[in-house]
Amino acid sequence: MPYLFTSESVSEGHPDKVADQISDALIDNFLAWDPDSKVACETLVTTGQVILAGEVKSTTYLDVQKITREVIRKIGYTKSEYMFEANSCGILSAIHEQSADINQGVDRKEKQEQGAGDQGMMFGYATNETDNYMPLALDLAHKILIELANLRREGNEIAYLRPDAKSQVTIEYSDDHKPVRIDAIVVSTQHDEFAGEQEMQAKIREDIINILIPRVKNSLRPELQQLFSEDIKYHINPTGKFVIGGPHGDTGLTGRKIIVDTYGGKGAHGGGAFSGKDPSKVDRSAAYATRHIAKNLVAAGVCDEVLVQVSYAIGVKDPMGIYVNTYGTSKTALSDGEIAGKITEIFDMTPYGIESRLKLRNPIYSETAAYGHMGREAQTVVKEFEGANGDKKKVEVELFTWEKLDYVDKVKASFGI
């Protein structure tokens, strides 16, 4: 029997995502000046206020106020009527030195012996239903908000948009788990004041359906465009007026959008957030590594869909174990357990092995903090950083290395494909 599946996304101006982006900007700045920095940084944002807290072990000093204001400004909170504005918000820092008890379990004389920064289990997932091996509902939800942000910054076709927004996409699947049609789309977007509420609702609905959605649809390959129909149920700003938003409307915290950050409810999640953590924290690095494994397995033709789990004990370098679930889509004669055994032969899953393979001790994290950490485009960019003393440096980095299909040939050779 056909079934429905739903995923949601939130914009870069959503309060929780504002917090994530500030935390990851601090990570990048620490790593740019001291690649061996150990950082766990949490951010809280609310009306006119940012609070930074966390633990750091680093040789560098940062102007955290300046970095925080730059992030807020880039997102688009630049007007006083938002009640949260880059130049005027208060910023309180309660960042202190990392516990020596934790650090002794991670650092080793030989970097290859580095222990995991915490215990826990991490999951990676991939499916061949989209070009980027992501679940379709989440991929569309992200694309809707990315395009909405583009429209906001252009300020031409839709001039009243404010930074905060959410989206949600419901897709009908067939019995054999193939997407058949889009059943419903929800878009809630913050906006400027309108003269009348009925005029406001009509205008926003018309612009979302007739301007935003066609731009998203036209960016997709033809078979996905066919999922759009006149029968889609649209819920556009279903509560009505949405002028008060962002950190003034809701308090935001780092790490509260972990499902948006990963697979939209498909697969599984170990519970650990990513933003604000340096790569010694396996919550982050091992989640990237398992995504890398899952994507390369599917791309190599081992299976159509796969979930990969890895688990660690704090201070111990080798994983407790690796688990694989191909959901019955395996193209090999091997069991899921045997596939897991082969993964350990192909991929080094020690914390140092992951950091080295995916080049994670680089300032690459600001770009992950909105619109998902997975399913993004691997690319090389040059980033510029300014130190607290005014010194500047440019760093060439590879973004989203865990999205590279650089192990496909190794996987094929190992599996005899």
Same domain, yes or no: 292 and 364: yes
pLDDT tens per residue across span 6-49: 999 999 999 999 999 999 999 999 999 999 999 999 999 999 99
376-410 confidence digits (pLDDT tens): 999 999 999 999 899 999 999 999 999 999 999 99
Domain total for the chain?
2
396, 313: one domain: yes
Binding residues for L-methionine: 55, 98, 250, 281
> Which pLDDT tens digit goes with each residue over 187-213?
999 999 998 888 999 999 999 999 999
The answer to whether residue 92 is domain-embedded is no
Annotated binding site for K(+): 42
Question: Do 297 and 355 fall within a single domain?
Answer: yes
Which residue, chain included where needed, has tokens 């918000």? Answer: 89
Buried b (16+ CB within 10 A) or exposed e, 350-363: bbbbbbebbebbbb
**Residue 264, pLDDT above cutoff 80:** yes
pLDDT of 107 strictly over 70: no
Mean pLDDT of the chain: 95
Within a domain: residue 174? yes
**Residue that is written with structure tokens 């694989």 in the block:** 324
Per-residue pLDDT, averaged over 117-122, amounts to: 92
Residue 42 forms part of a structural domain: no
- Which domain-ending residue is among 225, 244, 263? 244
Same domain, residue pair 283 and 221: no
State whether 295 and 399 are in the same domain.
Answer: yes
pLDDT digits (tens, 9 = 90+) for 331-381: 999 999 999 999 999 999 999 999 999 999 999 999 999 999 999 999 999
| 112 belongs to a structural domain | no
Using alpha carbons only, what angle is made at residue 97 by residues 394 and 396, rounded to the nearest 5 degrees?
15
Q: Give domain status of residue 257, yes or no.
A: no
Residue 124 and residue 141 share a domain:
no
Residue at 95 is within a domain? no
Residues 161 and 197 in one domain: yes
Annotated binding site for ATP: which residue ranges?
14, 164-166, 241-242, 250, 256-257, 273, 277
Binding residues for Mg(2+): 16
Domain assignment of residue 162, given as a range: 3-10+136-244
Residues 234 and 290 both lie in one domain: no
Same domain (yes/no): 287, 235 = no
* Residue 253 CB contacts under 8 Å (≥ 6 apart), including other chains: 16, 19, 42, 43, 44
Give the mean model confidence (pLDDT) for residues 205-226. 97
User: Does residue 399 belong to any structural domain of this protein?
Assistant: yes
In a domain, 150, yes or no: yes
- Name the token pair of 147: 């395009």
Domain boundary among 244, 263, 288: 244
pLDDT value for 114: 84
Q: 3-state DSSP call for residue 363? A: coil
What long-range pairs does 225-233 form, CB within 8 A, spacing at least 24? 227/171, 227/179, 227/180, 227/181, 227/182, 228/182, 229/181, 229/182, 231/181, 232/182, 232/183, 232/184, 232/185, 233/183, 233/184, 233/185
pLDDT for the residue 329: 97
Reported confidence tier of residue 106, pLDDT bands at 50, 70, 90? low
218 and 333, same domain (yes or no): no
Q: Which of 226, 244, 262 is the last residue of a domain?
A: 244
Digit-coded pLDDT (tens) for 153-183: 999 999 999 999 999 999 999 999 999 999 9
Does residue 90 carry a pLDDT above 90? yes
- In this structure, the answer to whether residues 397 and 287 fall within a common structural domain is yes
- Within this chain, do residues 295 and 370 fall inside the same structural domain, yes or no? yes
Domain of 288, CATH number, reads 3.30.300.10
8 Å CB contact between 23 and 16:
no
> Is residue 285 a contact partner of residue 360, using CB atoms and an 8 Å limit?
yes
Instruction: Extract the annotated binding site.
Output: 14, 16, 42, 55, 98, 164-166, 241-242, 250, 256-257, 273, 277, 281
- The closest alpha carbon to 12, from 379, 368, 274, belongs to 368
* Assigned token pair, 334: 């091997």
Cα–Cα distance for residue pair 264/297, rounded to 1 Å: 20
